[in-house]
Each structure stands twice: as structure tokens, then as C-alpha cells.
Amino acid sequence: MTTNTRTTNALTPNTGTQDARRGLRVSILRAADLPDCSNGGISGRVTRVTLVGDLVDYYAAAVLEPDEQAPAVRLIERAGMYGIAVPDLARTDRVGPMASGAFVYSSDSRFRALSAHLGCGGSAIPLHDRFETAAQYAALSSDY
């Protein structure tokens, strides 16, 4: 397999259309006993997402097109840390994405390979789909 030279780390909007890409469909896991903590994020609207991007392509996992019921998210590798999943289209008017308490998972062996590649040990990958306004970010991250 060949790898593309594009990076999966930059948080910039996808230049293509979501329906022109293919990815791996995975489930969103979140606490059943808590309210929606996504602050308008993907995990508050849907129960599945479609992983897209170079890393998904590398593991030959690009099989289904994203849609409204399973929007596109991409994997970001972070040096010295585990990887995360983020919305494919950034919100330039907000700060984030931030963790919403949700994770993505699939029993598909290709997902386990992706998770292991990102340092998540082959298990669930944190979903950072929460965006905040600058005022919310300042209020929630200030020292008491």
C-alpha cells in the first residue's frame, strides 16, 4: 500500500465533499445515565459516524460514504499521546474540538488496527466533537 503525503493532523476543513469520500462506519459510545455533554457536537445528534482520511485509506477501511446519519470524522495522530477522532469539517467560529465524553468504536478488525496505530490499544477512540464559543471557553477554563 502507498501512503499519501497529506497530513491527518491539521484541523482544517475537508476540501472535498463528504459524499465523495468513503470511510469506516463506527458507533458512538457515551454514558447512558448522563445528558448530552457534546455542546452541540456530533454525538448529541447521531449514534454512528464514518471515519475518513489518509489513515483509514491506508488500512483499506474506506468502504462506506458518510451521510447525515453517520457524518464524517477523521483521526488525528498526536505525538506522545493517543489519537482522537474529530469532525471532518472544522468550526472556525468556535474553539475546539474538545472532548465530549464520547468515544467511537467498532468490532471490525480494521478499526482495531486503526486504534492500535493511534495508541489506543485497539479499543475505543476518544471523540472530540465539542465546540465552544470564545466566551464559554474563557469561563470554563479560567482558574477559580
Q: In this predicted model, which residue has the larger pLDDT, 139 or 115? A: 115
* pLDDT band of 89, cuts 50, 70, 90: confident
Residue 4 grid coordinates: 499519501
Q: How do 102-105 and 125-127 pair as beta strands?
A: antiparallel
pLDDT in tens, 3-49: 333 333 444 444 444 445 899 999 999 998 988 888 888 999 999 99
Pick from 112, 110, 113, 115: which is nearest to 125 by CA? 115
- Model pLDDT, residue 139: 84
As a whole number, the mean pLDDT across the chain is: 84
Could you tell me if 95 and 137 are in contact, meaning their C-beta atoms sit under 8 angstroms apart?
A: yes
Pick from 99, 75, 97: which is nearest to 9 by CA? 75
